[in-house]
Each structure stands twice: as C-alpha cells, then as structure tokens.
Amino acid sequence: MGEKDRTLTLLVDNKPDVLARIAGTFSGRGFNIENISANITLNPDITKIIIVTTGDRATVTKIRNQIKKIVDVRNVSYLKTKKSVQREMILAKINFTEDNREKILAAIEEMECRVVNQEADAFIVEATGKKDEIDRILLHFQSLGMEDFTRSGKIAL
Amino acid sequence: MKLTGAQILIKTLKAEGVDTIFGYPGGSVLDIYDELYRSDINHILVRHEQGAAHAADGYARTSGKVGVCLVTSGPGATNTVTGIATAYADSIPMVILTGQVPTPFIGSDAFQEADIMGITRPCTKHNFLVRKIEDLSKTIREAFSIARSGRPGPVLVDLPKDVIQAQLEEDKTIAAKPKSEDGGKSPDREALKQALEMIVKSKKPVILTGGGIILGNASEDLQKFVKKVKVPVASTLMGIGGFPGTDPLWLGMTGMHGTYYANMAISNCDLLITLGTRFSDRITGKIANFASKANLIQIDIDAASINKNVLVDIPIESDCKTALVHLNKLLDENGFAIPGEEREKWIDQLGQWKAHAPLSYCNSEKIKPQCVIETLYNLTEGEAIITTEVGQNQMWAAQFYHFDHPNTFLSPGGLGTMGYGLPAAIGAQIAFPEKTVVDIAGDGSIQMNIQELATAVNYKLPVKIVILYNGYLGMLRKWQELFYGKRYSHSYIRNSPDFVKLAEAYGALGLRATRPEEIEPTLKKGLESPLPAVMDFHVEPEENVFPMVKPGTPLVETIINSEELR
Ligand SMILES: Cc1ncc(C[n+]2csc(CCOP(=O)(O)OP(=O)(O)O)c2C)c(N)n1
Ligand SMILES: [Mg+2]
C-alpha cells in the first residue's frame, strides 16, 4: 500500500504538556503531521486527539507504536476511513460588490454552505464536509475571489 | 504533625529502597540537602552534574537497581542532560531529581531557571513537574515505577522550591507503590512454538543478543537454552556479558568492529534469533544485506523496536527472560531433536572462519593497547567490572576482555558518550565496594570527566583507570587515515597533561608504562593499590581497531586487518 492520509485517534491524559510530547515524537522521529485537532471528551481527565499523517501502512504502525509508549497516552487507534465519519470545517471570507452579490450568494447556496455573517462588502461563510469536499469548495471560493479562510483539523467518530 | 516537601521526598525515596544518591547541591535544592543532612541515605558528592548522572547510571547497570541523582535547577539540571541521554539510549533505569524555581516564577526567566522538562522530553522515558505538594510522593513513586518497568529508562522529576518547602499533614503524605507495574507481557505461545520449530529444524542458526538480555536478567536462561539447542551466540556491544565470553559457542561481538566470524555467521546463517536488540546501524552494516539468507525471529520487550529497522518473520513481544523460560519449558515438555550432523557442520564452518581471522594483533617494541587489556584480563581473572569511554579504547575492551557475567561490562553503547567511564566506574564501585572496577579510557575521553577523580579520592573508592594514551582522538584519526587521505584534522591532541602528576595532584596513585615489559608490573601495582589509580600506558600511537566494516557496506565485507586495505 502506498502513501496516503491516515488518521489516528488518541485518548490521552489531559495534561498541559501532552501535546508537546506527541508533537515531539512526530518531529523527533521524522514523521509528518498533516493536521491535528484536540478536544475534551465526556471524561474531563481525558482529551481526544485526532491526527492525520501520511505514509504507508508500515510507517503508520511505527508511529502508532512510538506514540503508544508515551506515558500519558492511554490508547491509540487507527481510524478506518470506511467505517468512520470524518469532517473538517472552514470559515471563509468572500468579498462582494453590488454587481456580483447575487451571483456569489447563489453559488454559496448551491454548494450547501451557510452564510454566518454578512458585512458591508463581504460574507463569512461556513462549510463542513470531508476533506475532498472542503478542497473542492475552497477552489470554488477562490474563483469567487475569497479573501481569507481558516480551516479546522479533522474530527472523526 | 506536618511534613515539608523535602521530608516527604526523602521518606518516599526511603520507602522505594533508595540507599544511594549521586548529586550536587544548589540554591533550589537546599531544603532537600538540609533533609539529607539528617538522613541515612548515602549521598555521593560528585564534581560535575554530568558525573552524577553517569555515576547513577553505572550504579544502575551493575546493581540492577534504579540509579538516583539529585541536582539543582538551571545549570545543575542542564549539566545532567548528556548523562540522561546516555541512559535513555541504553535503556537504563534512573530517576533524576532536579530543583526548579518556585512555581509562581516558572516561565519568567527567573535566576537559574531552565525548562528542563522541555529540554529532556525527548531523552527521558517520561518526566514530571510536581506542581503541588499533594502530588509529590505519588509522582516519585510513579517515576520509579516507570523507570524500571517494561523497557527501562531515565525519568526526570522537576521539583519547584515552593513545593519542597510547603507542608502537608503526615497521614496524607507517603503514597503506596503504584499497583500495576507492567512486567513482561506474556509472549504469544503459538509464535514461540513456531520459533522453536524453526530453531530445531535450522541447519545454520545464530543467536544475536542485545542489551535486553542483560536488562531482562535473562543470562542464565539463555545459557540453559543454548545448552539444549546448541546454537552459537553473537552479541551487540550492549549484550556483552549476557553469554559467557569463554564458552565455545560464543562468537563475540558483531557489527562495525565485530569479529570476522560473528559477522560471517550472521551473513550466512539460515536463522537468526535476536534477543533484546534493536538492530542499530552499527550492528547491521548495509541493511539490505543483513542476515539476508536467514529467517528472523525477533524477541523484544518493546513493540516499537520490532520491525523498526529490519523486517522479521516471527516477531515476539516479550522480555527476554519470560520468552526464554517459555522456550526452555517447551523444549523440556515436547522433546526435540536437533539436526546433529548439519549443526556440527555449521559449527565446524564457524571454527574455520575463526581460525582464518581470530582477534589478534602484532607485538612490537611499543605497547599494544590490546596487550594491555589482555594482561588486565589475565590479572583480574576476568572478574573485574569494566567501564569504558568511547573510541578505540572501548572497542578493544569489548574485544579483548572476555566477559563471563552480565552487568560487568558498562559501555555507553547507544549514545557513544566520551567521559562516561570514570563516573560510571565510581557508581559501580559504590554498588560493589569489594570488586575490582576498571575504567578503560582513551587519553581524549578521560579528560571529559577527569574531575571525578576527586570524588573517587574523597570517598576512598579504589577505582582503576587504564589510559590507552595514543596522543590522538584515535577512532577519528583512524577514519581520517583510511577515508580522508590521512588529513589528521584536529584529531591530534597535543599537550595532554602529565597524567601521573595529575593523579598525584588529586591524591590518587599515578603510574606510567612506556614499554611492553612494563605492562604487567604497572597493572599489578595499580590493581593492588587501595587508592584510586591512574595507569597511563603510552601505546602505539597509530594502532587501529580491526576488524572493521565500512559504513554502508555489508557485514560480509568485514576488513580483517590493515593489510587488506593496501
Ligand atoms: C562527547 C563526545 N564528543 C565527541 C565524540 C566523537 N568521538 C568518538 S571517538 C572519539 C575519539 C576518542 O579519543 P580517545 O578517548 O583518545 O580514544 P581512542 O580512540 O584514541 O582510544 C571522538 C572524539 C564522542 N563520541 N563523544
Ligand atoms: Mg586516544
């Protein structure tokens, strides 16, 4: 199997330096973090971290074995794409003029995105979706003259 | 009654069975030192914190206990880093206690503040910052537990001064041992059976031991196993002592400076059984050719070390002892027959390789370093604890002293830390006051922690230092000779001190030998002395370590001697 994005879900002790330990293990051993998200769980002592990395299966197994050794990491699982729901989110700022306002709005709607804020000359648009959907939406927004955007890490279940 | 953090710390250390600490005081640990003043814990005052870390390491490697060191914040803590990284590379159980500025000052660039947590994160098995006195005892307990369990390693505990000075009701203070200390995981029985079948069937098997055989206390079980299955044993530097160096089935060290026959054995075997080794680049040579004719069985306690550098056929996650106990039991239960004739042929072949290129050297008018070590071996009857520095001295020690017992060869194999040998010898001597402890050193390395001679003198530790004085950073000079057109760029170390006078200045015995016939009397005199003794052997300056495998070349291309290079 070749290189592709692979997702690891970590359950870790909610301690201040646990992210540094994980990030350090990746950088120290030459592994790649494509994106990362960390957040609370139902148990306040435990944080869930989702990391997307690239590499073949063997590399990801190596990463997993190294991450497992971190004392504060309770569990590492490999997220099978087919069996899980995975989402990313973006907020994008798209400028408009009187002339193209309607056209842009229609395009946003067509892509099933939501305008969450409207300024005098710009929309703030929210979109969620799988990675490739988000990639496509971003391309489209760019063609509409998107000024700026932020993109979340992946969350998955 | 209330106890201070310092009192809780000492009480918990005592509860852990700590009787010796290697350390050096400073402002942020004064309260702990004040408590030590009243305690019966044996504190060894070193002369540099790096020395404390290596001494704790030497203590741990010989005694099997967790080594402990205590230093102050900032520079005290950063000075231990090389020692910690050395222990980490070799999986040595240690607990390093560092002072820290009071918690309200952390992050403020306070005087003698260093982010030792951040600095040591990648070179400790784990580290802790204790933020409240309530966590202190429990954290210390956990630190010890983590240090010695599974694949061992150093654990650092950072102790802010306010936590050490705070007070807590006595009944809440001393934590119990953590419940679950993950010992060896039970190895997969099916995999073991499969492994055994392969071993019994194999015509040309070899066992390769690493540091795990010693850390896992598996030496006796290995000997029992080898007696039954008659498989020759090669070892990494770290595994030396795990199998008797005088046993006929011993092949010696393998890898870059391994014996020709061990390297040939690994290159030609049909089955390689590895016990507690991670296949470092110093062992494998060109990795594509490593044991390329063999099936591989890897037994290791650390899942992350399995299939990491080399892909194996049968991975077995287990500590070496548990695996060998199981294997021995399976052999006893099931009975087995090893292919006698084929196996004899193989052992015969190994004998031929050995006869073709035994470890050897040529005597000359100058002292040969190998001869110094051979004589040392004979005089100590192979029973000394040997520590090494790094360089050619280290390789000759590994080649020419034949180690029959585990925990008697202490060498910074993973990190290759010059300056390790003397403080490690001090730690070993503290653990075994009655034994002969010798640091085999180079004239370069010894100068990296020479200050610890004062520690040895102060505690009347009769450690012996054998300096193989060649006037060079010899290992580097050799590479420059062979691969850099003899351009000896900064490997010639001019103006070393007069080591005899230096020893005397410290209050140790200083001896020098410059001719071969002086080797034995010098060693005898030094070994018999009740004082620490520095024996300065002026050896052939350009003597090179052989055999050698050039980096990036396969083990079969082992170069036996310098003639081969001409
Ligand atoms: C702390 C440290 N610095 C540098 C090196 C690189 N190095 C490896 S061997 C060596 C030469 C050691 O010289 P010496 O102690 O005289 O030993 P010899 O090889 O001459 O026996 C050096 C500089 C090292 N291993 N450790
Ligand atoms: Mg030298």
Residue A20 binned pLDDT confidence (cut-offs 50, 70, 90): very high
Question: Whole-model pTM?
Answer: 0.94
pLDDT at A1: 47
Contact (CB<8Å) A58/B126: no
Evaluate whether A35 touches A6 at the Cβ level (below 8 Å): no
B122: which chain A residues are within 8 Å (Cβ-Cβ)?
24, 28
Q: CA neighbours within 13 Å on the CB side: how many for A71?
A: 25
Q: Which of B328, B331, B318 is nearest to B188 (CA)?
A: B318
Assigned CATH topology for domain A4-83:
Alpha-Beta Plaits (3.30.70)
Could you tell me the distance, in angstroms and rounded to a whole number, from the CA of residue B118 to the centre of ligand 1? 28
- Under an 8 A CB cutoff, do B121 and A21 touch? yes
Outline which parts of chain B fall under CATH 3.40.50.970.
2-172, 369-546
CA distance B71 to B23: 6
CA atoms within 13 A on the CB side of A103: 11
Q: Which residues of chain B have pLDDT under 50?
A: none
Q: Are A11 and A41 in contact (CB under 8 A)?
A: yes
Q: Give pairs for A114-119: CB < 8 Å, separation 24+.
A: A116/A91
- Contacts A17 to B, Cβ<8 Å: 117, 121
What single letter denotes the amino acid at residue B174?
A: I
Domain ranges of chain A: 4-83, 86-156
Residues of B carrying an active site annotation: 49, 111-112, 161, 475
pLDDT score of A58 = 87
B2-172 is classed in which CATH architecture?
Answer: 3-Layer(aba) Sandwich (3.40)
> What Å distances lie between residue B257 and B208, B334, B398, B440, CA to CA?
15, 39, 9, 17
For B334-393, what is each residue's pLDDT tens digit? 887 877 888 899 999 999 999 999 999 998 999 999 999 999 999 999 999 999 999 999
The answer to whether the beta carbons of residues A89 and A127 sit under 8 Å apart is yes
What pLDDT sits at residue B411?
Answer: 98
What is the whole-number distance in angstroms between the Cα of residue B444 and the centre of ligand 1? 6
Please report the pLDDT score of residue B181 as a whole number.
63
**Distance from the B252 Cα atom to the nearest Cα atom in chain A, whole angstroms:** 31
Residues contacting residue B226 through CB under 8 Å, at least 6 positions apart = B207, B233, B243, B247, B249
Task: Report the share of chain A in percent with pLDDT over 90.
Answer: 63
Whose tokens are 């959907």? That residue is: A133
Question: B362 touching A, CB under 8 A?
Answer: no
Q: CA B168 to CA B2: how far, in whole Å?
A: 5
CA distance B400 to B371: 8
Q: Is A145 on the interface with B (CB under 8 A)?
A: no
Q: Residue A71: which of B126, B303, B306 has the nearest Cβ? A: B126
Say if B304 is an interface residue toward chain A (CB within 8 Å): yes
For the domain spanning B369-546, the CATH number is 3.40.50.970
Query: Which residues belong to CATH 3.40.50.1220 in chain B?
Result: 189-356
DSSP per position, B372-433: HHHHHHHHTTT-SEEEE-SSHHHHHHHHHS---STT-EE--TTT--TT-HHHHHHHHHHH-T
A30 touching chain B per CB within 8 A? no
| A136–chain B Cβ distance below 8 A for any pair | no
Q: Do B121 and A61 touch (CB under 8 A)?
A: no
Q: Please tell me the distance from the alpha carbon of residue B320 to that of residue B200, in angstroms, as a whole number.
A: 19
Distance in angstroms (rounded) separating the CA atoms of residues A38 and A147: 27
Q: Tell whether B116 is within 8 A of chain A (Cβ).
A: no
- Supply angle C-alpha A14, B90, B99, rounded to 5: 50
Dist CA B315 CA B274 (whole Å): 10
Q: How near does any CA of chain B get to the CA of A84, in Å? A: 26
CATH of domain A86-156: 3.30.70.1150
Distance B498 CA to ligand 2 centre (A): 14
Per residue in B420-437, is it b (16+ CB within 10 Å) or e — as a string? bbbbbbbbbbbbbeebbb
- Write down the pLDDT at residue B180: 65
Q: CB of B307 within 8 Å of any CB in chain A?
A: yes
From B418, B446, B469, B542, give the residue whose CB has the most ligand 1 atoms within 8 Å, as the site to mutate.
B418
Chain B residues closer than 8 Å to A61 by CB: 307
How far is the alpha carbon of B306 from chain A, nearest alpha carbon, in Å? 9
Look at the block and give the residue holding tokens 């695996």.
Answer: B323
Q: Which residues line ligand 1 (CB under 6 A)?
A: B 389-393, 416-418, 442-445, 468, 470, 472-476
Do residue A65 and residue B304 have CB atoms under 8 angstroms apart?
Answer: yes
Alpha-carbon distance B147 to B84, whole Å?
Answer: 12
Give yes or no for a contact between B435 and B408, defined as CB atoms under 8 angstroms apart. Answer: no
Subunit contact A65:B121, Cβ cutoff 8 A? no
Beta-carbon separation of A17 and B121 below 8 A: yes
ipTM: 0.86
| CATH number assigned to the domain covering B189-356 | 3.40.50.1220
For B151, which residue in chain A has the nearest alpha carbon?
Answer: A69
The answer to whether the CB atoms of A28 and B122 lie below 8 A apart is yes
Q: What are the residue ranges of helices labelled H in chain A? A: 18-28, 57-68, 101-110, 131-143
C-alpha span between B261 and B242 (Å, rounded): 19
Neighbours of B383 (CB within 10 A): 12
Which pLDDT score is estimated for A2? 64
- Domains A4-83 and A86-156 in one fold: yes
Chain A positions in Cβ-Cβ contact with residue B304 (cut-off 8 Å): 62, 65-66, 68-69
